[in-house]
Amino acid sequence: MQHFLSTQDWGTGQLGRLLDLATELKRNPVQDRLRGKSIALMFLNPSLRTRTSFELGMQQLGGIAIVLQPGKDAWGVEFKPGAVMDGDAEEHIAEVAGVLSRYCDLIALRAFPLFQDWQTDREDAVIRSLAQHASVPVINMETIVHPCQELALMQTLREHIGDVAGRKFVLTWTWHPRPLNTAVANSALTIATRFGMDVTLLCPEPAYRLDEQFETAARANAEESGGSFSITHDIEAAYRGADVVYAKSWGALPHYGDPKAEWALRSRYRHFMVDEEKMSMTNNALFSHCLPLRRNVKASDGVMDADYCVALDEAENRLHVQKALMCTLLGADG
């Protein structure tokens, strides 16, 4: 049994086959591959795309999806091993995972970090505890990484560019009024280096570097795939010659859990917003973002409405790649 917690746990060939299956499912969206199968979708945080694409995808494949929001329409869950459960949570992940494994063929979880202590959050303990107690495959719907988004991003680039190896991919930090999760940024570095792209991380200053585990993984991926990985704080140097600009905002890890101190830093960097002037420095680059996106904050209207913006293609591909993922995990990928 294989889980899908991080793309790093999967081989590049396996990911490639999954994307090929997604292409086939995009051509023929309604199939009976998962008739009688089911997935439990547990959301600890809001969602538009992830929820809709998983629910619809399972239905198009002949199965059923059950959505649960612990603490809202389902009992609150305790994830810590050995916890004395005298707080709000009514049941433990050991039973939640055990029960859902008896009912369903797959369990998916969205559990954002708690934004209090990065040393704790970086361990990704919540989804790991689900995987430990589940007896069916577990899918990560975003924790400190967002592997389903990675698949959709890579599928979109393959559709628009073909072979992405050697193309310049810029992950740019962009402005947002709040310090957000680093998950999509971690994931973008991971998948782009995995497929041999020349990846540049553009962020305003060293405080916005990503966690060492992801930068190290990006370097190792690049070495193996023949790509490259570099970091810059120079906007023009990053945009010059880019083939892909991928934007995301995230909080500075040295100020994790201290939004006031983080604000003092981030408020200087509104000019990192992606706009037409910056895009004009590129090699006619594609632009994308995982969405949701605040217009004229993270990217200008002009960028979002341009032909080179493929954010909607990427959102659509969430549906196709996740269908391929569910088929692969359940042995219906032949």
**Which residues lie closer than 8 Å to 181 by C-beta, 6 or more apart?**
112, 113, 142, 144, 250, 251
Interface characters, 232-271, with ligand CP (x: CB under 6 A): ----------------------------------------
For ligand CP, the closer CB: 115 or 263: 115
CA 62 to chain centre: 26
Quick one: tokens of 140? 């990560």
Of the residues 48, 85, 99, 165, which one makes contact with ligand CP according to CB under 6 A: 48
Q: Which of 180, 291, 297, 306 binds ligand CP (CB under 6 A)?
A: 291
Q: Between 54 and 272, whose beta carbon lies closer to ligand CP?
A: 54
Whole-number minimum distance, CB 264 to ligand CP, in Å?
Answer: 28
Nearer to ligand CP (CB atom), residue 48 or residue 85? 48
Smaller CB distance to ligand CP: residue 51 or 168? 51
Q: 241: closest CA among 275, 280, 200, 282?
A: 282
Query: Dihedral (C-alpha) 157, 281, 297, 302: value to the nearest 10 degrees?
Result: -80
Q: Distance between CA atoms of 167 and 157, rounded to whole angstroms?
A: 10
Among 4, 10, 22, 50, binds ligand CP (CB under 6 A): 50
For residues 146 and 289, the answer to whether their CB atoms sit within 8 Å is no
Smallest distance, Å, CB 147 to ligand CP? 11
Q: Is 35 annotated as a binding residue?
A: no
Stretch that binds ligand CP, among 42-50, 65-73, 76-84, 168-176 (CB under 6 A): 42-50
Pick between residue 185 and residue 231 the one whose CB is nearest to ligand CP: 185
Residue count (the chain): 334
> Would you call 194 helix, strand, or coil by DSSP?
helix
For ligand CP, the closer of residues 69 and 132 by Cβ is 69
In the bound complex, what is the minimum distance in angstroms from residue 47's beta carbon to ligand CP? 3
Q: Is 47 a known ligand-binding residue?
A: yes
Which lies closer to ligand CP via its Cβ, residue 55 or residue 275? 55
Q: Is 318 annotated as a binding residue?
A: yes
Please state, in angstroms and as integers, the Cα–Cα distance from residue 6 to each residue in 140, 192, 227, 245, 257, following that order. Answer: 7, 14, 20, 23, 24
Name the residue with tokens 């917003």.
Answer: 273
Does 56 engage in binding with ligand CP (CB under 6 A)? no
Instruction: Tell me the per-residue interface mask from 168 to 207 with ligand CP, x by CB under 6 A, - otherwise.
Output: ----------------------------------------
The answer to whether 115 and 251 have CB atoms below 8 angstroms apart is: yes
Cβ contact 197:166 at 8 Å: yes
Q: Give the integer Cα–Cα distance in Å for 90 and 97.
A: 14
- Find the helix or strand (DSSP H, E) in which 223 lies: helix 212-225
Rule CB under 6 A: which of 136-165 touch ligand CP? 142, 149
Say which amino acid occupies 237: A
Q: What are the distances in angstroms from CA 120 to CA 138, 148, 320?
A: 21, 23, 33
Question: Positive or negative, the Cα torsion across 179, 180, 182, 184?
Answer: negative
Min separation Cβ 185 and ligand CP, Å: 13
Q: 75 a known binding residue? A: yes
Contacts with ligand CP by CB under 6 A lie at: 47-50, 142, 149, 290-292
Instruction: Please state the residue numbers annotated as binding site.
Output: 47-50, 75, 110, 142, 146-149, 248, 290-291, 318
